């Protein structure tokens, strides 16, 4: 049996970029180690969740790990909150939140200039209203999670994020009669929060240095926590996760993974790539299955920066040399969780390259790892197929039949 490292470069898939001579970021990147891995295994294209689906990171990671999102996905809020270390209880409603900038009653930046270190804002927004406790925790950059804990709460409410600039921030509305109390309490929370943020020292400081204030908190993705069977139960493997992204840590935690902390890992493009791979190699002694998520590729895609996406891929490539020395006993799987083309600035349903590399399996004549080269490889699969293939190549699968 072999151990497994599953390296997911978030939003890896790309489309041709004019700036890169009509190449994808992966095609344009210097990537000798990724190409060497491809030469040591089989490759193909993988459609996250299913063909043509514009998957989110949450639904795609669930599906890659063998959890049908149709059954287990209850909205992004619970996943984000879990990843920030908030312990959810049954009946809790969790939201994703964004700090945003409002000027003259209209949103002018949905990410408040990608503000950082908002802990002091979040802790001052925590409160209790009409018997409902509000837990607020900051995430990476402008992101946060808000959890409501109390009686008679419903997730049947609208988002307060209008998803566009130049619109006024919204209040929550009840989607059915039972949700009216929840909507009323949220709106009291929002009114209170707006006052606090407007006068907060943190924001005054931002304005004084010419930056955008984080004077609005927008809520979306309301949901209740799902119960899912553990990865150990499903596959008999001890699993660990290495990710600087709260959402991914949350999903892994839900499936019973140990989340490993790494010095300098931050879920941004300037994360410590070297430490992440070193931590994964060390973890092979203790764990059968290690999931790594690198977020920078997705961030660059959303920001429409092909050069930056190429840079992130090159950073990853430059540190994965040690994985090549492990191919006797380890199956290295590299893929993305969806495409985030720089030309589109968001997730698309395009398939992503995938490769399964280990010594002793057939090479499918593919020697380069990119969207086009792997299209001549073995596989045209969906994310549902990833775990069965992993189990087989790692010599862990049970025989189906006699
Ligand atoms: Zn993603
Ligand atoms: Zn994304």
pLDDT digits over 214-258, tens only? 999 999 989 977 778 999 999 999 999 999 988 898 889 889 999
Cα of 289 to ligand 1 centre, how many Å? 20
46-50, 253-257, 369-373 — which is least confidently predicted? 253-257
Cα of 195 to ligand 1 centre, how many Å? 34
Percent of the chain past pLDDT 90, that is, above it, reads: 89
d(CA 113, CA 141): 9
Structural contact between residues 88 and 226, judged by C-beta atoms closer than 8 angstroms: no
Q: Say if 402 falls within a structural domain.
A: no
Q: Confidence band (pLDDT; 50, 70, 90) for 337? A: very high
Q: Say if 356 falls within a structural domain.
A: yes
Q: What is the average pLDDT across 353-370?
A: 98
Cα of 296 to ligand 2 centre, how many Å? 10
Q: Say if 400 falls within a structural domain.
A: no
Same domain, 321 and 268: yes
Our count of domains for the chain comes to 2
Task: Identify the pLDDT of residue 246.
Answer: 83
Same domain, 335 and 348: yes
Rg, Å, the chain Cα set:
22
Q: Is the dihedral of CA 262, 266, 272, 276 positive or negative?
A: positive
Cα of 73 to ligand 1 centre, how many Å? 15
Q: Say if 231 falls within a structural domain.
A: yes
Last residue of a domain, one of 172, 207, 223: 223
Same domain, 95 and 158: yes
Q: Say if 401 falls within a structural domain.
A: no
Same domain, 377 and 239: yes
Main-chain phi, psi angles of 193, to 5 degrees? -65, -40
d(CA 186, CA 172): 7
The answer on pLDDT for 275 being more than 90 is yes
- Summarize pLDDT for 122-168 with one digit per residue, the tens: 999 999 999 999 999 999 899 999 999 999 999 999 999 998 899 99
Cα-to-chain-centroid distance, residue 313: 17
Q: What is the average pLDDT across 352-357?
A: 98
Task: Identify the pLDDT of residue 224.
Answer: 79
Cα of 271 to ligand 1 centre, how many Å? 16
Same domain, 97 and 41: no
The answer on pLDDT for 89 being more than 80 is no
Same domain, 91 and 196: yes
Last residue of a domain, one of 182, 198, 223: 223
User: What does the mean pLDDT of the chain come to?
Assistant: 95
Same domain, 99 and 202: yes
Cα of 101 to ligand 1 centre, how many Å? 25
3-state secondary structure of 92: coil
> Residue 51 is encoded by which pair of tokens?
């063909």
- CATH number (domain holding residue 353): 3.40.720.10
Task: Identify the pLDDT of residue 82.
Answer: 79
Task: Identify the pLDDT of residue 132.
Answer: 97
Task: Identify the pLDDT of residue 359.
Answer: 98
- Summarize pLDDT for 196-213 with one digit per residue, the tens: 999 999 999 999 999 999
Task: Identify the pLDDT of residue 383.
Answer: 98
Task: Identify the pLDDT of residue 76.
Answer: 77
d(CA 253, CA 291): 12
Q: Which residue has the tokens 């010095």?
A: 263
Q: Confidence band (pLDDT; 50, 70, 90) for 277? A: very high
The answer on pLDDT for 85 being more than 90 is no
Q: Is the dihedral of CA 365, 370, 375, 377 positive or negative?
A: positive
Same domain, 158 and 97: yes
Q: What is the average pLDDT across 34-54?
A: 98
Same domain, 202 and 300: no
Cα of 56 to ligand 1 centre, how many Å? 6
Q: Confidence band (pLDDT; 50, 70, 90) for 2? A: very high
Same domain, 183 and 148: yes
Closest CA to 133 of 185, 198, 85, 83: 185
The answer on pLDDT for 65 being more than 80 is yes
d(CA 339, CA 345): 10
Q: Which residue has the tokens 């907060």?
A: 200
Q: How many CB atoms lie within 10 A of CB 179?
A: 22
Same domain, 195 and 133: yes
Q: Say if 18 falls within a structural domain.
A: yes
Cα of 337 to ligand 2 centre, how many Å? 9
Q: Say if 102 falls within a structural domain.
A: yes
Task: Identify the pLDDT of residue 130.
Answer: 98
Ligand that comes closest to the CA of residue 301: 2
Expressed as residue numbers, the domain containing 156 is: 80-223
Strand partners, 291: 6, 241
Task: Identify the pLDDT of residue 188.
Answer: 98
d(CA 240, CA 294): 15
Cα of 386 to ligand 1 centre, how many Å? 16
Last residue of a domain, one of 223, 238, 256: 223
Same domain, 111 and 152: yes
SS (H, E, C) 368-402: CCCCCHHHHCCEEEEHHHHHHHHHHHCCCCCCCCC
Q: Say if 54 falls within a structural domain.
A: yes
Please list, in sequence order, all residues whose beta carbon lies within 8 angstroms of the beta carbon of residue 287, skipping any fewer than 6 positions away: 3, 237, 238, 239, 240, 258
Task: Identify the pLDDT of residue 98.
Answer: 94
- Summarize pLDDT for 284-330 with one digit per residue, the tens: 999 999 999 999 999 999 999 999 999 999 999 999 999 999 999 99
The answer on pLDDT for 90 being more than 80 is no
> Residue 251 is encoded by which pair of tokens?
């999903």
Task: Identify the pLDDT of residue 329.
Answer: 97
Cα of 329 to ligand 2 centre, how many Å? 33
């Amino acid at each position: 049996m072999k151990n497994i490292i599953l390296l997911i470069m978030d939003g890896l898939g790309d489309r041709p970029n004019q700036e890169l001579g009509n190449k994808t970021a992966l095609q344009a990147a210097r990537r000798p180690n990724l190409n060497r891995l491809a030469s040591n295994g089989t490759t193909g294209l993988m459609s996250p969740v299913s063909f043509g689906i514009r998957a989110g990171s949450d639904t795609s990671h669930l599906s890659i790990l063998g959890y049908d999102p149709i059954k287990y996905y209850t909205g992004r809020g619970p996943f984000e909150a879990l990843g920030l270390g908030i312990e959810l209880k049954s009946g809790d409603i969790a939201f994703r939140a964004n700090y945003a900038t409002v000027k003259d009653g209209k949103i002018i930046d949905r990410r408040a200039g990608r503000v950082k270190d908002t802990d002091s804002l979040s802790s001052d927004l925590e409160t209790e209203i009409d018997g409902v406790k509000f837990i607020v925790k900051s995430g990476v950059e402008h992101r946060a999670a808000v959890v409501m804990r109390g009686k008679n709460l419903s997730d049947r409410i609208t988002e307060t994020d209008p998803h566009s600039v130049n619109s006024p921030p919204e209040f929550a509305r009840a989607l059915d009669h039972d949700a009216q109390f929840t909507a009323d309490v949220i709106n009291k929370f929002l009114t209170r929060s707006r006052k606090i943020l407007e006068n907060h020292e943190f924001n005054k400081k931002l304005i004084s240095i010419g930056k955008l204030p984080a004077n609005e908190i927008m809520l979306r993705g309301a949901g209740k926590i799902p119960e899912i069977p553990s990865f150990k139960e499903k596959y008999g493997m001890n699993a660990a996760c290495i990710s600087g992204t709260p959402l991914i840590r949350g999903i892994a935690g839900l499936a019973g993974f140990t989340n490993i902390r790494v010095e300098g890992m931050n879920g941004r493009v300037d994360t410590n790539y070297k430490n992440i791979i070193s931590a994964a190699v060390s973890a092979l002694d203790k764990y059968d299955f290690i999931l790594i998520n690198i977020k920078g590729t997705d961030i660059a895609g959303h920001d429409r920066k092909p050069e930056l996406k190429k840079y992130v891929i090159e950073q990853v490539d430059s540190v994965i040399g040690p994985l090549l020395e492990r191919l006797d006993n380890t199956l290295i799987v590299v893929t993305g969780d969806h495409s985030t083309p720089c030309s589109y600035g968001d997730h698309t349903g395009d398939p992503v390259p995938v490769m399964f590399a280990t010594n002793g399996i057939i090479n499918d004549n593919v020697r380069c790892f990119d969207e086009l080269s792997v299209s001549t490889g073995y596989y045209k699969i969906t994310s549902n197929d990833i775990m069965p293939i992993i189990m087989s190549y790692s010599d862990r699968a049970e025989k189906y039949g006699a």
